[in-house]
Structure 1
């Protein structure tokens, strides 16, 4: 049987809702950083590929 109080559950849920955008933002920033690193390491190949496509 769950003995936690309904108010504690509601507060915990609200805290998770407030933190969710921060976690999402951090995840997106991490992806942007990894894409930037990948481009910096491979930009010559990328540019050559794009030129072949046009």
Structure 2
């Protein structure tokens, strides 16, 4: 497993806290990133099914 550290400036960190209060998608940042990575991977040559 790869660990990714995210450094946010104080303003954006405060914004994230407020967004997490109203949008449950942002409460699970790991799930959010994974949900973004998977469709993008499918667009790459390695992610396309072999014909």
TM normalised by structure 1 equals 0.33
Q: Which has the higher helix share?
A: 1
TM normalised by structure 2 equals 0.34
* Structure possessing the higher radius of gyration over alpha carbons: 1
